[in-house]
């Protein structure tokens, strides 16, 4: 899950003007908060990793990741930990 959420975060939220703070601490806090709210998916093989990535090509799954990242951004921006 971590690479999926991280890539989604980088694609959607690291554009200029979206985040109030771009420091590494805030970015990590956002990622960790979002990951804690999403269903974990563990795998130990590359085949399993490919399967998980395929699941997250579904529009509903992408929407779930975006929703949790958006919530995490709101929480961290309201209460930065730096």
- What pLDDT digit, counting tens, does each position of 27-77 carry? 999 999 999 999 888 888 888 888 887 877 888 888 999 999 999 999 999
Cα→Cα distances 77→17, 23, 34, 51, 56, Å: 13, 11, 14, 33, 26
Domain positions in the chain are 2-13+22-58+69-78
Is the predicted pLDDT of residue 3 greater than 90, yes or no?
no
d(Cα 72, Cα 5) in Å, to the nearest integer?
12
What is the DSSP code (8-state) at residue 39? P
């Amino acid at each position: 899950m971590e690479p999926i959420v991280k890539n989604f975060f980088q694609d959607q939220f690291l554009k200029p003007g979206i985040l109030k703070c771009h420091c590494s601490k805030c970015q990590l806090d956002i990622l960790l908060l979002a990951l804690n709210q999403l269903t974990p998916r563990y795998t130990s093989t590359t085949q399993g990793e490919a399967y998980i990535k395929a699941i997250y090509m579904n529009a509903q799954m992408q929407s779930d990741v975006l929703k949790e990242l958006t919530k995490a951004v709101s929480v961290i921006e309201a209460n930065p930990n730096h």
